[in-house]
Structure 1
Amino acid sequence: MLTQHIRDALASRLSISFPDISLISKEDAVPIPEPPYFQTELTLAEFEPISTHRYTARFRFKIYYVPVPEKPVAAMIMDEMLESLTTLEVEGRPCRASSVAWERPTGNDGASGEGYFRAEYVIQLTTDQVEMESKMQILKQGGGLK
């Protein structure tokens, strides 16, 4: 459920910051709009227990920006995009990005691939679930419990 909340928070942030740019999710099967548009992809969602009632949730997104032809990303939205990804509001709570960057991967041949924005969010959460302690019971002779 938290994964959907953070996806929704990211979509909301992008829609507010860039109202004229369409947004699609790689996970959804929707038609590709005309450029410019954003395509988001959740590449990591992991939950790590910290203690009995606390855990860390880590989410990493790739956000591809498909610009209008002949207008590079840097000229269009680079600074504004990096700034808008630094904070999300997830279920009414502020969530700061642990890292935000523009990446342009290079292949084995040294050629640059398509670039994307990367944003990683880490949230510490608590759970209302109480762990049930297992209590040892003693068996009476004959199979009943004392």
Structure 2
Amino acid sequence: MKDGRKRMNVLILYPDDWRHNTIGKENPIIQTPFLDSLADDGIRFRQNAVTTSICWQSRATLFSGQWASRHQSYKLKCPHFSKGRLWNQTWPILLEKDGYFVGHVGKWQFHSDNRERFSWSKYHEGKHWYGRFGRGLVAAED
């Protein structure tokens, strides 16, 4: 950081269709020691609720910080929310402007090249890694 303090790592895990007790920390039947350790050392949102039950709309809401009625991502693979001027004030963009490497692993479903809006969302067909600066690392093949 600019004042000499160590930069904090930021990791957002946002799986679709998980209940609050999907990890072992909240359910004695399930064993997820690594996720439990992340929960112990990080922040858990135990009362998180989505405003839409559709996965891509929910992710658009998380990344844009806007209601679905505002980001208007109603059709799969059409990132309408990216066209608004307020998108540049979201947490991925602000972290990137502060010097963080911002990447995405997993499904995104907006299959278009929006690097002018989302430098962290370069699409790689058949891959589960989305990086930037040309450092697309393959985490898994489809």
TM-score normalized by the length of structure 2: 0.22
Normalized per residue, the structure richer in helix is 2
Answer with 1 or 2: which has the greater Rg: 1
TM-score normalized by the length of structure 1: 0.22
Instruction: Kindly indicate whether structure 1 or structure 2 has the higher relative contact order, using CA contacts under 8 Å at least 6 residues apart.
Output: 1
